[in-house]
Amino acid sequence: MIADIAQDVRTGRRSAVEIVRESLAHIARDNPTLNAATLVLTDSAVAQAEAVDAKVARGEDPGPLAGVPFGVKDLFDVQGLPTTAGAAMRRDAPPATRDAEAVTRLKAAGSILVATLNMDEFAYGFATINAAYGTTRNPHGSNRLAGGSSGGSAAAVAAGMLPLTLGSDTNGSIRVPAALCGIYGLKPSHGALPMGGVFPFVDSFDDIGPFATSVADLRLSWEVLGGSAVRSRAPIRIAHLGGWFSDDVDAELLDAIDAIGTHLGGIRTVELPEVARARSAAFLMTAVEGGTRHLPELRRRALAFDPATRDRLIAGALLPASAYLAAERFRAWFRAQAARLFEQHDVLIAPATGEVAPPIDDPMIHVAGARLPARAHLGRFAQPLSFIGLPVIAAPLRRPGKLPLGLQLVGKPGGEAPLFDLAATLEADGLIGFTPPTC
């Protein structure tokens, strides 16, 4: 756990340099197979670790994350490096003049940046299949997808390369890979964490958040990033989010949700209306904002884009403004429907994905009897929630020896505290939790 690492460093039981070198060795061993890291920052990481150890030697407190190695999705600014956002066309972009604000906060807490991490180009996908940087593989089965677009961030944590990483989530890009890789991920309330120095995709939905292997680690990183402690509240009113969120879901995942409900003394099943429209509206707004953002480069050098990204961006740029405005109006209505549910409940439980990670050589999922591309459709349970800015913790079911499945614990805007409380309870009771890969 990252608190244990920090405590060891702060008390001198271990050195930050030793911990960072272990992380670098782990990356060197596993990254050739998993392809999670795009750039390993060996020299600067060791230099940062030496600075942390020097503080300890002087009797100074290096911070609550002292010596904790971390990595960032390759759309966070890192001073002196081009921010590629997963795009080959940005390899020669001007280097960032300063770190992203979230990176600055983690470093100020004593954490040590070790690597940048793979992603779908411009964060447009749920698979981390990247034409320039390759496909990230799942630590629980190297023949399977890690999910995306923050797949490198999730795989690095699940494999034990790094105890903490940052990703971004527009339509599910933290929650999908967290679920498929069997770890925890936080998509906070929209706008709750600093976006300064993060390459944008869709301003309406973009958020950043951490990945970790325990609720305590996720909570500590959230508190450092947000600048304040999570205030617990009790009791927590819980419901199961059904309807759209119960269709085409692995039977074991539905059984697990039922078991959690029974364990908690019984919970209601509730539904959000018009979820399919909400997902469609989120798709439309994503396409319009993304296409508009990249339109100048599409006009100038369209062939430099990954073809799978380029075609979707062009289609979005061609959509009429009237369609976007209609989706925006619908969002206000859908947000009001969710608010009514949260008058009665603090946490809604839903699947994160409908099934386990798809094979890389057949990247499809099954919905309503059809086979659909995973790259576009793995986020079908995540999109309707980020559409209205809700905070979500992605939590792994305990499934030793099996491919991971994950839950979404969903709260109202600003309602992260009960999510952490419920996740901690379910983890302590053995219903959710990280299981290290066996392969």
Residues with catalytic function: 73, 149, 173
**By C-alpha distance, which of 187, 59, 165, 153 is closest to 111?**
165
CA R_g for the chain: 20
Question: DSSP letters of 115-173?
Answer: EEE--SGGG--SS-EETTTEEPEETTEEEEE--SSSHHHHHHHHTTS-SEEEEEESSST
Q: Which residue has the tokens 């969120």?
A: 245
- State residue 83 phi and psi, 5-degree precision: -90, 105
The H or E element that residue 290 is part of is helix 275-301
- The neighbour count for residue 266, using CB atoms within 10 Å, is 8
* Tokens describing residue 101: 């604000």
Angle value at C-alpha 376, between 347 and 221, nearest 5 degrees: 45
Cβ contacts of 38-41, under 8 Å, gap ≥ 24: 38/74, 38/84, 38/115, 38/116, 38/117, 38/118, 38/133, 38/152, 39/74, 39/81, 39/115, 39/116, 40/114, 40/115, 41/78, 41/113, 41/114, 41/115, 41/116
d(Cα 122, Cα 168) in Å, to the nearest integer?
11
Nearest to 209 by CA among 340, 327, 61, 382: 382
Report the C-alpha gap between 160 and 276 in whole angstroms.
37
Tokens of 295: 């339109």
Three-class SS of 274-285: CHHHHHHHHHHH
Nearest to 154 by CA among 170, 166, 169, 141: 166
